[in-house]
Amino acid sequence: MPLPLRGLRACLVFPNVALEQTAALAQNVHALGPIQPLSLLYAAAILEQAGAKVEFVDATSGGLSLEQTIERVRASEPDVVGYTLATLDFAFSIEWITAIRAAVNVPVVVGGIHMSQYPLETLSHPAIDWGVVTDAERTLPRLLEVWRAEGDLGEVPGIAYRKDGVPVMTEPAEIWEELDDTPWPARHLSRLDAYWSILSKRRRFTAIMSGWGCPFSCVFCVLPEVPFRQRSATSIADEMEHCYSNHGIEEFDFFDPNFCMGRARTRAICEELIERGLADKVIWAARARVDNVERDTLELMAKAGCTRICFGLESGDMEILARTAKPQGGAKRMRDAIAWAREFGMEVLGFFTLGHPGETLATVARTKRFILSLDLDFIQVAPIFMLPGSPMYQEYVERSGDDFWREHTLHLCELRELPFLDTDLTTQELKDATLDIYRSFYFRPRQLVRGVKRVRTKTQLKRAVAAARGVLGL
């Protein structure tokens, strides 16, 4: 196999995000625990496969300061440094990228969903040299290969770079369809014991992906712009078996938004795990829509080791769900899917969002009553946050002429709450409603008893208390 990047030294960095400098939604996500940044670990694996020597610095899980991170990067003696960019953390990431670039003066390459939304605006920051706009599997190695050969970067599809000092885009790259050929995340570069989720149970835990994108078009979600592709059952089972055998990982959380898309594939994954004996060795969780699961599918998932399923329920008001393009078969379908999962011993988490078009105090109250009527183990509730790439944000830009995230990318202007569409509810009202729902749900005697029964160790107790303080604003 050719190794075009043999001898190249790359350092990939995940900054230690300061929560007070990010939006409330980002704080909510980070409070769930340090999850492996799979996008960077995938990039690391792609570079290693091409022959590069890769160092991975996760400042978040390591609790590293900027100064400590600079020393780690400098010690790796890199030829290139790479980052992934998320919208909510963008300004903070630019601060770290700029400081590290000043101390370690080598080219910087970035990727991530924010890069794909605002490629030229992102390259307005002089600390960044190149951006990978699409899938990295072909594009990233090709970019670095051409750079090392002092070739014409304009011939590399799917990147942003500077031509005569001006940010430009090359032609789009082909969509990467061969997901089974994508190397697994380079978990061996990370400190595996440093990662956990607030809901994880086993000593070693990892996030995992069974596919990219989503075929649905929920108005508040950025995924409609990501082409939907899935891995095979064999590929997924191979990765899980490798993680268990080589890294001692006993718990997996599938982070793709709809693991159960395709009944035949879902069953094939479960049957593969059972046949290999993995169902007796590992546990796993998945996210799904209630209209994509059936009773027999959930039964098989439970037999294959799935101990928790997370449903994006969003609202208890059916008119709100229709306006968000996520009706999911209505309230009965939601109740049925939850009941089936509970029947087979799964924990069930419900995701809910507030502030949709048409939201009123009455619809919020209806959602609260609906949540309290469901047999859920956990809930996560948050006001919606319009992000670039979502149909809702695009409608906001078209109506108002205010492309806030573009301005933020260009000028690093202070984060602010964007107006909600077609609702008179204020940000504060929605935050108060969120807190009220959390308190009403988790402080019920039934939930308190369930919570106490789940705690097995001091570590779990500490995490549970920290999570409670976070969501309750204490």
Please count the other Cβ atoms lying within 10 Å of the Cβ belonging to residue 416: 10
* 29 belongs to a structural domain: yes
CA gap 46, 136 in Å, rounded: 8
Task: Return the SS3 of 367.
Answer: helix
* 400 belongs to a structural domain: no
Q: What are the tokens at 315?
A: 């609202």
Residue type, 377: D
* 178 belongs to a structural domain: no
Is the domain of 134 the same as that of 278? no
Please count the other Cβ atoms lying within 10 Å of the Cβ belonging to residue 246: 10
The one-digit pLDDT tens for each residue of the chain (474 residues) are 689 999 999 999 999 986 544 444 444 445 577 899 999 999 999 999 999 999 999 999 999 999 999 999 999 999 999 999 999 999 999 999 999 999 999 999 999 999 999 999 999 999 999 999 989 999 999 999 999 999 999 999 999 999 999 999 999 999 999 999 999 999 999 999 999 888 888 889 999 999 999 999 899 998 877 889 999 999 999 999 999 999 999 999 999 999 999 999 999 999 999 999 999 999 999 999 999 999 999 999 999 999 999 999 999 999 999 999 999 999 999 999 999 999 999 999 999 999 999 999 999 999 999 999 999 999 999 999 899 999 999 999 999 999 999 999 999 999 988 889 999 999 999 999 999 999 999 999 888 777 776 766 666 666 666 666 655 555
Residue 53: CATH number of its domain: 3.40.50.280
Is the domain of 158 the same as that of 202? no
Is the domain of 200 the same as that of 127? no
Q: Give DSSP secondary structure letters for 85-140.
A: --STTHHHHHHHHHHHHHHS-S-EEEESHHHHHSHHHHTTSTT--EEE-S-HHHHH
Q: Which domain holds residue 105?
A: 9-169
Is the domain of 354 the same as that of 240? yes
Residue 20 has a pLDDT of: 47
* 393 belongs to a structural domain: no
Helix (H) or strand (E) holding 230: strand 229-230
Is the domain of 150 the same as that of 249? no
Residue 307: CATH number of its domain: 3.80.30.20
Tracing tokens 């601060």 back to the chain, one arrives at 95
Total domains present in the chain? 2
R_g (Cα) of the chain, nearest Å: 22
Domain end among 150, 169, 188: 169
* 149 belongs to a structural domain: yes
Q: In sequence order, what are the residues at sequence separation of 6 or more whose Cβ sits closer than 8 angstroms to the Cβ of residue 87? A: 113, 114, 117, 387, 388, 405
Cβ-contact 34, 60 below 8 angstroms? yes
* 86 belongs to a structural domain: yes
Is the domain of 130 the same as that of 265? no
Q: Give DSSP secondary structure letters for 26-53.
A: HHHHHTT-----HHHHHHHHHHHHTT-E
Q: In sequence order, what are the residues at sequence separation of 6 or more whose Cβ sits closer than 8 angstroms to the Cβ of residue 69? A: 13, 15, 16, 57, 59, 96, 100
Residue 312 has a pLDDT of: 96
* 391 belongs to a structural domain: no
Residue 226 has a pLDDT of: 83
Residue 19 has a pLDDT of: 53
Residue 383 has a pLDDT of: 94
Q: Is the Cα torsion angle 85, 17, 213, 383 positive or negative in sign?
A: negative
* 255 belongs to a structural domain: yes
Selection from 365, 246, 256 nearest residue 316 by Cα: 365
Residue 460 has a pLDDT of: 61
Is the domain of 236 the same as that of 90? no
Tracing tokens 């694996």 back to the chain, one arrives at 45
| Total residues belonging to the chain | 474
Cβ-contact 82, 110 below 8 angstroms? yes
